[in-house]
């Protein structure tokens, strides 16, 4: 499983010739289908258009690099939009999560996804700076119990029971020591 925050900044390397094709600048999410659609690469030199790498063209994502077959699979943003490859893209980071009971759970700070399929598996949630420092952040696994909109993610109360602490936080360290 990969994290959005760990993929951004990775070099993209071609397996065919070992050449660096770019660096990951962002990830394109599709909240409706709960998947990662593509990786956005940085612009080179005087390039004006965004370059994207569709998830289906990625051989693997490791801790240190994204591996693709060759640079021919990198396309420009407009071409990917015309082919409907990026249809339904939206944002997840910064969305507020609310339970169906009306309880504010927090804000999405990171996204966990399966690198082979692009499926979004979970969300890393912050419920405030002080809480993050004391308790650490929570992970909310997505098992079909969430509704996505442009502003909110609405989750079933059952999903909250599945939410677990990521660990860390000063309170955890103090209790262990």
Q: Are residues 61 and 15 in the same domain?
A: yes
Q: Are residues 100 and 78 in the same domain?
A: no
For residues 79-85, give the mean pLDDT: 87
**Model confidence band, residue 54 (pLDDT cutoffs 50, 70, 90):** very high
pLDDT at 167 over 60: no
* 3-state class (DSSP) for residue 86: coil
Domain that holds residue 13: 2-82
Of 31-45, 105-119, 161-175, which one has max mean pLDDT?
Answer: 105-119
Q: Are residues 104 and 63 in the same domain?
A: no
- Radius of gyration of the chain from Cα atoms? 18
**Considering the domain boundaries, does residue 34 fall inside one?**
yes
* Strand ranges in 15-119 using DSSP code E only, listed in sequence order: 20-30, 35-41, 51-54, 58-61, 66-68, 74-76, 96-99, 104-113
For residues 71-87, give the mean pLDDT: 88
For residues 122-134, give the mean pLDDT: 72
**Considering the domain boundaries, does residue 90 fall inside one?**
no
Mean pLDDT across the chain: 83
**Considering the domain boundaries, does residue 89 fall inside one?**
no
Q: Are residues 106 and 76 in the same domain?
A: no
Q: CATH number, domain at 54?
A: 2.30.30.240
Q: What is this structure's pTM?
A: 0.80
């Amino acid at each position: 499983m990969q994290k959005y925050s760990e993929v951004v900044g990775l070099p993209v390397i071609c397996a065919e010739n070992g050449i660096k094709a770019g660096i990951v600048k962002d990830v394109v999410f599709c909240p409706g289908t709960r998947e990662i659609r593509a990786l956005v690469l940085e612009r080179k030199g005087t390039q004006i258009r965004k370059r994207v790498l569709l998830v289906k063209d990625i051989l693997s994502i490791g801790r240190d690099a994204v591996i693709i077959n060759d640079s021919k699979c990198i396309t420009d943003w407009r071409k990917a939009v015309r082919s409907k490859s990026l249809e339904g893209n939206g944002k997840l980071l910064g969305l507020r999560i609310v339970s169906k009971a009306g309880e504010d759970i927090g804000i999405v700070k990171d996204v966990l996804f399966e690198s082979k399929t692009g499926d979004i598996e979970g969300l890393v949630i912050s419920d405030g700076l002080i809480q993050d420092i004391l308790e650490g952040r929570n992970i909310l696994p997505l098992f079909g119990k969430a509704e996505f909109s442009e502003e909110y993610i609405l989750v079933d109360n059952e999903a909250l029971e599945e939410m677990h602490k990521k660990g860390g936080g000063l309170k955890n360290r103090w209790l262990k020591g």
